[in-house]
Homo-oligomer: A and B are copies of this chain.
Amino acid sequence: MNAPAVNVPAPKAAPAPRGNRTRSGPSFDLSVWAAQRRHAVESALARWVACPDTRPAPAGLGEAMRYAVLDGGKRLRPLLVLAACEAVDGSQEAALRAACALELIHAYSLVHDDMPCMDNDVLRRGKPTVHVRFGQAQALLAGDALQALAFELLTPDDASVSPGTQALMCRMLAQAAGFRGMAGGQAIDLASVGKPLTSAQLHEMHRLKTGALLQVSVLMGAACGNPGRAAQLALSDYGAAIGLAFQVVDDVLDVVADSGTLGKTAGKDAAQDKPTFVSLMGLRDSQNYAQELLSQALASLRADGLQNTAALRALADMLVNRGF
């Protein structure tokens, strides 16, 4: 498997000075930065995910996989990988592979989550969900194949990524996706419907269900370089804070936004009697909590050893004050 051409221009803005308390620096344009990087990710995914010309999958499986992955999604996890990689001046080739692998894991989890035996959702990103479009059996297989493909992307059979980095990336992703990460959080979620959760239990559920994959996006980006211990810990803290903030904001949006804006069915959590931050602490306190987590994330980026944190800062801000 040859790597698609990696063509990610360096950000135009100068690195934000360390300790700068403004959120993303005055001259950093996140929309330009993100558009360039999303383009690189989309191109790579289009070539790597069961490309009909070069790597076709049999019997409709490729179509279902590509439908689940391409032409949709904010690519938040890939952007976090690429931003963290820039903060440690890491390998762009390794980062692009990690970015795509994370998006595949995210996509497979959505496909399986949407199935009738789980959330039974028929709309995702404004389109029919995979099982509605291709049938449940094909959706199940497509999700399974996307998970396997994530690990295939992380282990190219060439010298573009060192074996040590390949192995480390696989370990990090497997742990974040597995029973003590995303899958474990989903199991707590399943068991929690209609039950009151304590604040600690709700935090644990989201730390695993969505937080683990967001945090590991940052850490896999960092693993593309050789950050010192302080920088690594800082990025881990940043990832944990934004991972939690993401879910808090999601719960808020489920209450205040409509389905058209969300691209999925709004108000579902309340309808399904699922515990959320809003149901636990109220709307106003949830909004304040998200802002507090944003402050924590930004503060952690002041650590020694981080170089260009402008994108990480802007992404955290965008994630909490969703302009996308």
Which residues of chain A have a CB within 8 Å of any CB of chain B?
Answer: 50, 55, 57-62, 65, 108-109, 112, 115, 117-118, 135-138, 140-141, 143-145, 147-152, 154-157, 162-164, 166-168, 170-171, 173-175, 177-181, 183-188, 190-192, 204, 208
Instruction: Report yes or no: A57 in contact with B180, Cβ–Cβ below 8 A.
Output: yes
Question: A188 contacts which chain B residues (CB < 8 A)?
Answer: 58-59
Chain B proximity of A291: nearest CB distance (Å): 29
Instruction: Report yes or no: B118 in contact with A137, Cβ–Cβ below 8 A.
Output: yes
Whether A171 touches B157, Cβ cut-off 8 Å, given contacts A61-B187, A138-B190, is yes
Whether A145 touches B183, Cβ cut-off 8 Å, given contacts A151-B174, A152-B178, A166-B167, is yes
Chain A at the B interface: mostly helix, strand, loop or mixed?
A: helix
Copies in the complex: 2
Instruction: Report yes or no: A60 in contact with B145, Cβ–Cβ below 8 A.
Output: no
Closest B residue to A149 using CB positions: B178
Question: What is the CA–CA distance of A104 and B1 in the complex, to the nearest angstrom?
Answer: 26
Whether A178 touches B145, Cβ cut-off 8 Å, given contacts A59-B191, A184-B61, is yes
Chain B proximity of A73: nearest CB distance (Å): 19
Contact of A174 among B148, B162, B175, B208 (CB under 8 A): B148
Instruction: Report yes or no: B136 in contact with A117, Cβ–Cβ below 8 A.
Output: yes
Instruction: Report yes or no: A144 in contact with B143, Cβ–Cβ below 8 A.
Output: yes
Question: A154 contacts which chain B residues (CB < 8 A)?
Answer: 170
Q: Give the interface centre of A178, A204, A208 by most chain B CB atoms within 10 Å.
A: A178
